[in-house]
């Protein structure tokens, strides 16, 4: 396995990095705004209230902490967001501490995006959601200055967006049936697994609907043969793919599972940033890209291009987020195989309006930047 991975890494770097290089510099150089001004960063903590208790293989919660950001330049304001599910290790405290170190007054031009985001990335290790909150706000700002949405800046076709799945957390059969009923407008369901009730969850849903289902195990299965048996059983139940079935450290076992599974095996916790895409190539069938893991839109875009160059499947996911981060991620949606962009649909106190889900489909519009307005 070690020799195989070294070969993959060496050969894929050339292909993948060629695919992602130069995108930002080429697009932005022709659209620079020479007006003088300062970049002013503002931020505040906020707590999202979930409509239902949200349970995965490792924990349950009813709220998610977020930090909402604004980046202003010459009177134009871009909006951003950091969402921090507790299991990822970030919190209001860590994000606010990180953002307090961000000094953007040294940059006089928001179109210097590579320099600005490189600076933000180097302030401290980790903190991907905190970094994403600046990245998203900067993209929103620059898109507004250019008066174009980012999917158009990237050259994507809005008509090619996929349907989004609607997530159903682990719960009792009664609550699961209720959640399936609430998900009636959506064409695909995403079901959380990873506990002893896995078959009960699927069978309960199949009692009331024959919609396509994806499953997310959140590293809940520990044995590769059990995982393979489950993959065959899930195939019979009309499941599309299995997301992160085993712990992210189990690379060899997951590669074996991917080779033998009748369903695609997707990486979530096993892949966070650009460098991880090469690590999971030929271990998983594809990757789940999330802005809160990748530090934002810039790196998520590079991950998408690299995964495509490596002929991997691509899923676009989210945390529990407002329409701000969901709309930012949606700019990439025309280029992915599957989308799970329901984070804002699971909360009761969204503060923005943005990308809509119409008849189950991620639907982009022509508002500039990431395409949101305040409620």
Domains and CATH numbers, the chain: 40-147 (3.30.390.10), 152-374 (3.20.20.120)
DSSP alpha helices (H): ranges in 21-163?
23-29, 92-99, 113-122, 128-146, 150-153
Helices (H), 183-314: 198-206, 224-236, 251-260, 274-280, 291-294, 297-309
Instruction: Answer yes or no: pTM beyond 0.85.
Output: yes
Residue with structure tokens 């709220």?
Answer: 63
Q: What is the pLDDT of residue 31?
A: 53
Report pLDDT digits (tens) over 141-200.
Answer: 999 999 999 999 999 999 999 999 999 999 999 999 999 999 999 999 999 999 999 999
- pLDDT value of residue 54: 77
What is the C-alpha separation between 276 and 88, in angstroms, rounded? 17
For 106-140, the pLDDT digits (tens) are: 999 999 999 999 999 999 999 999 999 999 999 99
Predicted pLDDT at 172: 94
Angle (nearest 5°) at CA 68 between 320 and 148: 90
Q: Is the pLDDT of residue 262 over 60?
A: yes
Residues 6+ apart with CB under 8 A from 359: 185, 187
Tokens at residue 348, please? 């009761």
Find out whether 126 and 119 touch, Cβ atoms under 8 Å.
no
Residue 371 phi/psi, 5-degree rounding, is 80, 40
Does 12 have pLDDT greater than 90? no
80-89, 280-289, 295-304: the lowest-pLDDT one: 80-89
Model confidence at 239, pLDDT cuts 50, 70, 90, reads very high
């Amino acid at each position: 396995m070690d020799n195989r991975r070294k070969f993959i890494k060496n050969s894929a770097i050339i292909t993948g990095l060629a695919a992602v290089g130069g995108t930002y510099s080429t697009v932005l150089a022709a659209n620079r705004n020479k007006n003088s001004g300062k970049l002013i960063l503002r931020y505040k903590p906020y707590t999202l209230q979930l409509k239902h208790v949200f349970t995965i293989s490792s924990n349950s919660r009813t709220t998610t902490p977020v930090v909402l950001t604004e980046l202003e330049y010459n009177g134009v304001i871009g909006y951003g967001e950091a969402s921090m599910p507790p299991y990822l290790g970030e919190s209001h405290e860590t994000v606010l501490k990180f953002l307090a170190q961000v000094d953007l007054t040294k940059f006089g031009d928001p179109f210097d995006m590579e320099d600005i985001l490189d600076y933000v990335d180097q302030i401290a290790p980790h903190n991907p959601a905190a970094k994403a909150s600046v990245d998203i706000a900067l993209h929103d700002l620059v898109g507004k200055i250019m008066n174009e949405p980012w999917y158009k800046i990237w050259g994507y076709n809005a008509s090619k967006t996929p349907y989004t799945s609607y997530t159903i957390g682990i719960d009792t059969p009664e609550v699961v049936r209720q959640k399936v009923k609430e998900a009636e407008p959506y064409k695909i369901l995403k079901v959380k697994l990873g506990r002893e009730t896995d078959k009960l969850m699927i069978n309960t849903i199949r009692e009331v609907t024959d919609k396509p289902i994806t499953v997310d195990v959140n590293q809940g299965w520990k044995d590769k043969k059990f995982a393979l048996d489950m993959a065959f059983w899930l195939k019979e139940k009309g499941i599309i793919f299995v997301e992160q079935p085993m712990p992210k450290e189990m690379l060899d076992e997951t590669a074996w599972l991917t080779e033998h599974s009748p369903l695609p095996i997707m990486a979530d916790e096993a892949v966070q940033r650009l460098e991880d895409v090469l690590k999971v190539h030929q271990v998983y069938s594809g990757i789940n890209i999330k802005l809160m893991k990748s530090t934002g839109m810039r790196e998520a875009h590079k991950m998408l291009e690299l995964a495509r160059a490596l002929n991997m499947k691509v899923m676009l996911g989210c945390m529990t987020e407002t329409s701000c981060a969901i709309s930012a991620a949606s700019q990439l949606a025309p280029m992915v195989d599957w989308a799970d962009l329901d984070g804002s649909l699971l909360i009761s106190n969204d503060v923005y309006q943005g990308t809509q889900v119409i008849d189950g489909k991620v639907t982009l519009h022509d508002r500039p930047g990431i395409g949101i307005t305040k409620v």
